[in-house]
Structure 1
Amino acid sequence: MMSEVLYTTRWNDLTRRPLAGHSWITPDEARRRYDEAQGLEIVDASTRDEDGTQRPLWVVGAHGRFRVELLTPGGAVARSVDWDLVDGRLWRWVTVEYVYLDDDTAHVDSDATLELTTTARPDGTASFSMRDESGESHVTQFDDVATDGYWLDVPAFGEWGPLVNATLGAATGPPAD
């Protein structure tokens, strides 16, 4: 179980606090919301600034489906992984990796100099796209992709490790077929 996390219903990555009108919630309330699929955001709280503000390494949105955002030291999204619920298990559907000029600035996604996106489906079809800083995209389609590594069991409340494992959903190149 990961103990250095905070829970909220809506997270603001720019302020590193709950969105206006939302607040931190207790682990008991978070567990209830998770069990009832009411929507929850789990924020890594293992690292903090000198003023005590969390500088999360990752944020997980749990809304029946899951979105995991792995963050740079500056707070920009380095990798986003969308997990869809398919037949009671999680399927790594879309993975986007963002490359910026530096890792110390809170860039927005559109600042990325390179964006690598892998989209995969349980039937073995997939696509890989690369968008460079000029905005030009190159897309490749795949059939018969091995899908074993795209599945994950739905985690029990508090067991966020498999979801935020930085090696899951890596979009370092096209899917292997």
Structure 2
Amino acid sequence: MSDSVRYADYWAEGRGASAITWIDAAEAQQRYESSASAFTAVGTDGVSPRPRWALTVAVNRCVRVVFLDPHRTRTRSVDYDWREGRLWRWITTDFEYPDRDRRYRRERAVRTTTAVFEPDGSARVQVIDRAVAADSKDVLTLEDAPVQGFWLERPAFGQWSDLINPEYGIPPEGRTRQQ
């Protein structure tokens, strides 16, 4: 089953659908092609109204994709930076919570892993693990991360499949989980 997509002027996972200003696909496409205004594409499974992902396109052509569980809890976000006329998978943040039984706000994550990658293979990975200690933070730096697949041509409007793939560009041996 393919995703059903709606477009919003501004979207955040904490806002109810009635508090969102929805726009039609033609307006979103005009914004995408002109880069004059930001918008968000919100995808559901076509059966439930609960969003599975939200893709925000900024005026500067950068893109943030937020992945949500069935309770609308953010599990991952991926930021694509606009570089050299293409999108670069720049920052990935994974959120883990006490359980998967209910909705959590991001600040309730017991573990947050943020990885920042550069095209030269350098990377910085920060892990905040509140299950270990309230102020636990580990930082790892890499010099030769496998980032060859992190470039993405800017897709045609509505062709979001690569952007909404939470594992886009990650070699199979480095994948953390399937969404």
TM-score scaled by structure 2? 0.84
CA contact (8 A) 1:79 1:96 kept: yes
Q: State the Cα deviation string for residues 14-50 of structure 1 (Å, max 9, x = none).
A: 23426x4x5111111110011111211000132555x
User: What is the DSSP-based 3-state SS (H/G/I as helix, E as strand, rest coil) of the residue aligned with 2:162?
Assistant: helix
Deviation >4 Å, runs of 4+: 169-173
Q: 1:103 to 1:48 in 2, by over 3 A?
A: farther
Give the structure 2 partner of residue 161 of structure 1: 161
Q: Could you say which residue in structure 2 is the equivalent of 1:4?
A: 4
Moved more, 60-69 or 104-113: 104-113
1:42 to 1:27, Cα distance in 2 relative to 1, 3 A: same
Which ranges of structure 1 fall in alignment gaps of 5 or more residues? none
Give the Cα separation in 1 of the matches to 2:47 and 2:29: 24
Relative distance call for 1:77 and 1:106 in structure 2 (3 A) is same
Q: Where does residue 109 of structure 1 map in the other structure?
A: 106
Structure 2 unaligned runs (5+)?
none
Answer yes or no: is 1:76 the counterpart of 2:73.
yes
For these two proteins, the number of residue pairs brought into alignment is 166
Contact 2:149 2:169 in 1 (8 A): no
Q: Distance in 2 between matches of 1:169 and 1:126?
A: 15
Residues 34-77 of structure 1 show CA distances to partners (whole Å, capped at 9, x for unaligned) of: 1111211000132555xxxx201100001110000010111111
Distance 1:47 1:104, change over 3 A: farther
How far apart are 1:10 and its partner, in Å?
0.4
What does 1:19-58 align with in structure 2 at a 5 Å threshold? 20=19, 23-37=21-35, 38-47=37-46, 49=48, 54-58=49-53
Residue from 93, 115, 118 that aligns with 1:118: 115
What TM-score do the two structures reach when normalised by structure 1? 0.85
Tell me the residue number matched to 1:141.
141
Q: CA RMSD of the aligned region, Å?
A: 2.1
